[in-house]
Amino acid sequence: MKMPYFLLVAALCLTAGPAFAQQPSPQAGQAPQLTEEQQAQLARQDAEMSQAALQVMQLVDANRIGEIWDGASPVMQQAVSKDDFVRQITSDRTALGAVSGRANPQVSRTQGEAGGPVPEGLYINVQSETTFANQPQPVRELVSFRLDDDRTWRVSGYTLR
């Protein structure tokens, strides 16, 4: 079985993964100071993850939603069945119509804590304001990635808001 291209892009992001671990611990209420090298690593990772998220969005555009689930994080696969994942996204997107434009993506990072609303781990979220044929206002399209135990970033969610 051929691996979707977006998974290969996500695997390339491993080189920037150490940027998380290299950040010094911030003082309470103070943002961490990053070295120029760490800033460059994060910028590369942002670009790579933005490209991977765009590929996920394009798979949704092409109604190849099942392929996203097939290559997703085991955490996501345990949380939602493939049929439910495909059915929900298909329903949401059908109502919106064809994509007419996407804004530049914004990247954020978060860490899920034990007992929190998402499973424990490191996450990268990429969102884009997307316009659709049947919706006059932009909709936030969000692709989430989780750093799995094998140190590979995989899709952990796709939502429209």
Burial class (CB in 10 A: 0-12, 13-18, 19+), 158: buried
Q: Which domains does the chain have, with CATH numbers?
A: 5-17+37-160 (3.10.450.100)
Closest among 14, 10, 12, 160 to 88, alpha carbons compared: 160
Q: Which residue has the higher pLDDT, 87 or 31?
A: 87
Per-residue model confidence as pLDDT tens digits over 106-153: 999 999 898 888 888 999 999 999 999 999 899 999 999 999 999 999
How, if at all, do strands 121-132 and 99-102 pair?
antiparallel
**Listed range (24-33, 68-77, 78-87, 119-128) with the worst mean pLDDT:** 24-33
For the chain, give the mean pLDDT. Answer: 86
pLDDT at 67 over 80: yes
Q: Give the three-class secondary structure for 150.
A: coil
pLDDT value of residue 115: 83
Quick one: tokens of 100? 């007419």
Q: Which residue has the higher pLDDT, 49 or 3?
A: 49
Angstrom distances, CA of residue 119 to CA of 68, 103, 122 = 19, 29, 9
Q: Which residues 6+ apart lie within 8 Å of 45 measured at CB?
A: 13, 16, 17, 19, 124
pLDDT value of residue 10: 42
Rg (CA), the chain: 16
